[in-house]
Structure 1
Amino acid sequence: MHNIKIVLIQTFHPGNIGAAARAMKNMGLSNLVLVNPVDFPSDEATSRAGQATDVLENATVVSSLEEAVQDCQLVIGTSARDRTITLPALTSQQCGEKLVAEQQSGKVAVIFGRERMGLHNSDLKQCHFQLNIDANPEYPVLNISQAIQIVCYEVFKAGQKQYEPQIEAYPLNDDLNRFYDHLESSLTGSGFIKPSHPGQAIEHLRALFKRARPTSKELQILRGMLSSFDKE
């Protein structure tokens, strides 16, 4: 299941990177992506990884989340907090099943945020769904390595099932971001969005299209529609 990426953003403690690698290998995963890790490579990460040092050695290090997920057709962000503009929510079991089902046709990713503050709102803009791991409501925030272990376990369980091949192709995250830029440009050009007071219209529209999840063909139609409006 190399098409499933485990993405860690700005991990502060190298031991958590090693623990993530171990959790991944325990459950048959190997594609680890690190966004601006504070301390990596690290002896502590290697020590905590146990027999999963190969996952660390093959980890991809990138400078931005956009780069980490630009080639993915599905991106799921983990967060214990609801946001003003919400994404469709998944349980850990639903997350595992969706990742396994869609990795048959393209790359997918699940994102884990910074140890102290989790994912920023700007990070969630790159996501299609938000993962909420059930926990004690009085203290629902898990250690990052614990959260990764839970998700990897759900992926392992889901991997034992048979899934129908996906017929419709979904666009890559990079294609979606270009569509959102085009949409904002068209709405600004038409006067619908005022540059001096943009408000949150584009954020609500992004949320709408994330819920709808247009296929690659549908996204082409939407881009063509915007281009025709731009010519008027």
Structure 2
Amino acid sequence: MLERIRIVLIGTSHPGNIGGVARAMHNMGLADLALVAPRCEVVTADCVSRASGADALVHSARRTDSLDDAVSDCTLVVGASARSRTLPWPMVTPRALGERLPRELADPESRVALVFGREDSGLSNDELHRCHAHVHIPTNPDFCSLNLAAAVQVLAYECRLAWLATQEATDSSVYHQKAHSDDLAPATHNEIEGYFVHLERVLTRIGFHDPAVPRQLMARLRRFTLRARPERLELNILRGILTATERQATANDQHVPSKATRLPDETH
């Protein structure tokens, strides 16, 4: 289970923090690290020193230019957020997240990504909109600033507690109830993002959505869809509806007579 939990760091600006994160991960048995557009040289003496023997995780970390690439194969993406947002999103505590992991990772093809933002500004709204849920560490409100490695340590600890609970359970079958069929497996991040692109195109095509005046329509539809956690088959049904809608809109355009050729009784 722990092998299928990925820690994703976006825009990290200090190599020492990357080393500290690697150490926190290795302490708790996590090994999948992804670095998205780091703003510093990654493998430095400070990084290796802070890693304290876990620098192999840094050397093997996948590096990408975008969050989408870093989580493309993940079925659950959770963003760490310390700020309240104008558009509420599903929010969980670290403990609740840990308790949810055995169910999320029951299917051996499932992957979970825990996403952490920049040291100075955290995750952008666009990045948070790409997450199924947000996790908030309930710190002292009078001093809520957490070091990046410390934040990763808290969530990694909850991941390990959840894993230990599955090892101690007398009946592990409760954690393997998810269907293994490809159709019934949760849709991946890439598949869901493809659906959102298709959805926005069709809504714009039929005049329901105006990209110039979006009024948070796509953000609200994202929140609704991600909360529902669609299976692959369900997502294919939705995309089939969109394709049929596009086809019908095109057919209607082709059969509408121009004003110059309309007969007088067609106006009634």
Q: Do both proteins adopt the same fold according to a TM-score greater than 0.5, normalized to the shorter chain?
A: yes
TM-score range, shorter chain: over 0.9
In structure 1, distance between residues paired with 2:124 and 2:201: 24
C-alpha offsets along residues 119-145 of structure 1, whole Å, 9 cap, x if unaligned? 000111220000011111223231111
1:79-98 aligned within 5 A = 79-98=81-100
The residue aligned with 1:155 is 159
Contact preservation (8 Å) 2:106, 2:175: no
Alignment partner for residue 41 of structure 2, among 39, 42, 49? 39
Q: Secondary structure at the match of 1:199?
A: coil
Structure 1 window deviating more from structure 2 (168-177 vs 193-202): it is: 193-202
Q: Secondary structure at the match of 1:161?
A: helix
What amino acid is the match of 2:57?
V
In structure 1, distance between residues paired with 2:137 and 2:51: 24
Gaps of 5+ in 1: none
Q: Secondary structure at the match of 1:117?
A: coil
Contact preservation (8 Å) 1:85, 1:207: no
C-alpha offsets along residues 18-75 of structure 1, whole Å, 9 cap, x if unaligned? 0100000100000011111122121111110012122112111111111101111100
Change (3 A) 1:195 1:35: closer
How many percent identity over aligned positions?
41
Q: Secondary structure at the match of 1:61?
A: strand
Q: Does 1:229 align with 2:233?
A: no
The residue aligned with 2:73 is 71
Contact preservation (8 Å) 2:102, 2:175: no
Q: Does 1:59 align with 2:70?
A: no
Q: Does 1:6 align with 2:7?
A: yes
The residue aligned with 1:164 is 175
The residue aligned with 1:114 is 118
Q: How many residue pairs align between the two structures?
A: 232
Contact preservation (8 Å) 1:96, 1:154: yes
Q: TM-score, normalised by structure 2?
A: 0.83
The residue aligned with 1:16 is 17
Q: Does 1:207 align with 2:211?
A: no
In structure 2, distance between residues paired with 1:196 and 1:22: 46
Alignment partner for residue 144 of structure 2, among 140, 143, 157? 140
Q: 1:100: how far off?
A: 4.1
Q: Secondary structure at the match of 1:209?
A: helix
Change (3 A) 1:86 1:145: same
The residue aligned with 1:173 is 189
Structure 1 window deviating more from structure 2 (148-157 vs 186-195): it is: 186-195
Gaps of 5+ in 2: 167-173, 249-268
Structure 1 window deviating more from structure 2 (193-202 vs 118-127): it is: 193-202
Q: Does 1:197 align with 2:240?
A: no
Q: 1:96: how far off?
A: 2.0
The residue aligned with 2:257 is none
C-alpha offsets along residues 177-202 of structure 1, whole Å, 9 cap, x if unaligned? 01011110110001011243232111
Larger radius of gyration: 2
Q: Secondary structure at the match of 2:63?
A: strand
What amino acid is the match of 1:118?
G
In structure 2, distance between residues paired with 1:224 and 1:34: 35
Contact preservation (8 Å) 1:33, 1:60: yes
The residue aligned with 1:103 is 105
Larger helix percent: 2
The residue aligned with 1:130 is 134
